[in-house]
Structure formats: structure tokens, C-alpha cells
Homo-oligomer: A and B are copies of this chain.
Amino acid sequence: MANLTAIELVYEKFGNPTDVIHMKERKVPELGKDDVMVRMLAAPINPADINTIQGKYPVKINLPSIPGNEGVGLVEKVGKDVQKLSPGQKVIIIKPGQGTWRNLAVFNKDVLKLVPDQLGLAEAATLTVNPCTAYRMLSDFKPVREKCQVVIQNGANSACGQCVIQLCKTWNIPNVNIVRDRPEINALKDFLINLGATHVLTEKELKSTDIFKNKVINKPVLALNCVGGMNARQMIKHLNHSASMITFGGMSKKPVTIPTPAFIFKNLSFFGFWMTAWQEKATKRDKDKMWLEIINYMCEKKLHASANKLVKFDSYKEALSNSLTSQGFTGCKYILDFGSKN
């Protein structure tokens, strides 16, 4: 049988994604005995993908490279030693760096995970980064899930922030959500409250809020920070004694500044989180437990993909350029749609 042809996005040098990324046809290689050919359905454009292409992400890339770190597809064909997958099944790519921005690909069976047919397309395509980051940050630092303790987060309207809110709702964790002020702030607040937010405050409202002083809600024991700068500093002021703050992003491009008394007399502690690093170290058992739970929540409609837009593969330049600029109040995520039949 003649080899099939794949259409792939690829870049030969680091730079501005709309300049360096181009579309290329390539014969799909022969299947090794442990390989699986996957007809891709969808793959998102994540901030980390953009930074990787720009050469700003601290992960080693061998050029030329196919971008894309997560995605969903249908099994097309399996190598002779692959037992647990068969053609037509829906799979997600669970290991970063596989290159998901192509319509047809050969992956090692170990980087694929079978998911239920009824799992939504956007949910499946974006499962491994934001929902997992939210899950881990709510699980690995403070027992907020077991004790229903209060969590505060900034950038609450981000893709990860929306997952945090939905998991908090599912796990009965009271949550306080900080967003930037904007003309459509009321619509944004309604949207987040509807997702499960307990309180939504603008950065300015956070400064003068008395919800903690008046015991409308307990002081947070866990803070999730993807902004940094003054916003993070305001969150620190409202934390409970011995609380922890987890930094997993720095959208303000400002560092986190911590007053000495917050360390000594309030006993706060500060950690970072990076999903890629977690994945490299975690056991299969821990990963499987997390994925199973997340997939179940998604199938039960307790956890939805963040606001997103499917873009035809041919229009990838438009999707890339839109991903580089903020769009809409929830930071719409662009998902490449490879046009395969689901």
C-alpha cells in the first residue's frame, strides 16, 4: 500500500509564529510494531506553543519541528504489537512534544490515551494542560478539597482559571476570583458565577474588599497566581496564616514581591507549578487517577472546555495571529480543526 500523505505545520527556525510556521505535505512513515496512526480531529493553540515557536520556552526543541502539545484524534491503524487500541477509537495525546498540529500522524502507543466516544471535541483536545494544571494545584499543596478550605485565584477568566472554578464547584471549595476591570465586567462576573465562582472581584475591588474582615468567607489558605506584580501582592495581603501561593504564570510580566513579615509572622509559603515538570515525575497511577476523574467530570458536564473557537486547518495563520492577541473577555482559545470526521 502506498504511504498516506499528511499535512503538517512545521517551523525550521524560531520566530514570530505567523512568519516561521508553514504548511507542508509529507508521506506518513511506516508503522513500527508499537506505533499507532492517528487521524487528528483537533488540537489547540496554547500560550506555551506560541512561546515554544518564539524560542522563549525552556524546553529543548530539535528543528525542524511540528508544534502542538495536546490534541485528539481517531485511531486509523495500529502496529502489530499494539493490543489495547483499535481503528476508530478516540484517543488523546498525553505527552508533550509529539507535534499535534497535523492531520495524520504516527505516535508511539504510550503517548496515547483512549477516551470515551462521548467526550466533547474541545474538552478532549484541551484536556491535558489546563484541567490537569487546575486539578494538581488544588490537590498537591493544601488539603482544600478534603477540608473545603477557601481558594483565591487571579486571572480567573483564563482557561485554567475556568477549570479551577468548575473543579472548586464540584469539590465544594469556596473560591474567590480576581479579574481585571473591563467594560463588560458584569457579563464576565455572571459568566464566572454561572461556572461556579463563589465571589468575583476586580483588582480594584480586591484592594478594599471587606468580605474577609466581615467573615462573609474565610481567608484563603491557597492562592493560585498566574499574574504576578501588584495583583499577586494584593492577594498575599488577604491570605490566612500559613497559607500557600502557587505561581504558574506571570501575565503582568512583573515578579512576585513578598514583604518579609508575610514570611516570618504570617508563615506564608510560595511554590511554582509547571504541568510539564509534573508529568515527567509523576507515576502512571497518579496520572491515570487524575485523567479518569477529569474525563468523568467532562462526560458528566461538570467540567467544560474554556471558551474556544474551532478554526479550519487551512486558516491556521488566522488562528495563530488571533492567539497572539487577546480576544474577548475569557481569552478565547483557538483550536485547529483538521476536518476529519468525528
Chain A residues proximal to chain B, CB less than 8 Å: 58, 228, 247-250, 255-274, 277
Instruction: For A257, list chain B residues within 8 Å (CB).
Output: 255-258
The residue in A250, A256, A266, A269 that gathers the most chain B C-beta atoms within 10 A of its C-beta is A256
- A194 CB → nearest B CB, Å: 30
A48 to chain B, nearest CB (A): 10
Complex Cα distance, B271 from A257, in Å, reads 13
Cα-based distance from A274 to B264 in the complex (angstroms): 5
B270→A258 contact, CB < 8 A: yes
Contacts of A266 in B (CB 8 A): 272
A262 touches B267 (CB 8 A): no
Instruction: Count the copies.
Output: 2
Point out the residues of chain B lying under 8 angstroms from A255, CB to CB.
257-260
Minimum C-beta distance from A289 to chain B (A):
22
Closest chain-B Cβ to A301's Cβ sits at a distance in Å of 31
Given contacts A256-B258, A258-B255, whether A248 and B271 have CB atoms under 8 Å apart is no
Which residues of B lie under 8 Å from residue A58 when comparing CB positions? 261, 265
Known contacts A256-B258, A261-B58: A269-B267 contact under CB 8 Å: no
**7 closest Cβ contacts across the A-B interface?**
A263-B272, A250-B260, A247-B263, A270-B270, A255-B259, A264-B274, A58-B265
Bound state CA distance, A265 and B51, in angstroms? 14
Minimum Cβ distance to chain B for residue A55 (Å):
14
| B-chain residues with CB within 8 Å of residue A262 when the two chains form the complex | 272
- Shortest Cβ gap from A147 to chain B (Å): 19
Distance in Å from the Cβ of A252 to the closest Cβ of chain B? 9
CA distance A270 to B269 in the complex (A): 6
Chain B: minimal CB distance from A303 (Å): 24
Which one of B261, B263, B267, B273 contacts A264 once the chains associate, using CB atoms below 8 Å? Answer: B273
Residues of B within 8 A of A264 (CB): 247-250, 272-274
| CB-CB under 8 A for A263 and B269, given A257-B256, A258-B255 | no
- Within the complex, the shortest CB–CB distance from A265 to chain B, in Å, comes to 5
Q: Given A256-B260, A270-B270, 9 more contacts at CB 8 Å? A: A247-B258, A247-B260, A248-B264, A250-B261, A255-B259, A255-B260, A258-B270, A263-B270, A269-B269
Cβ A269 vs Cβ B268 within 8 A: no
From the candidates B228, B258, B272, B277, name the one contacting A269 in the complex (CB within 8 A): B272
Q: How far is the CA of A262 from the CA of B247 in the complex (A)?
A: 10
CA distance A249 to B264 in the complex (A): 7
21 example contacts (A-B, Cβ-Cβ < 8 A) are as follows: A58-B261, A58-B265, A228-B260, A247-B260, A247-B263, A248-B263, A249-B260, A255-B257, A255-B259, A255-B260, A256-B263, A257-B257, A258-B258, A263-B272, A263-B273, A264-B274, A265-B272, A266-B272, A269-B269, A269-B270, A269-B271
Q: How far is the CA of A313 from the CA of B259 in the complex (A)?
A: 37
Contact between A263 and B271, CB atoms less than 8 A apart: yes
Which B residues are in CB contact (< 8 Å) with A249? 260, 264
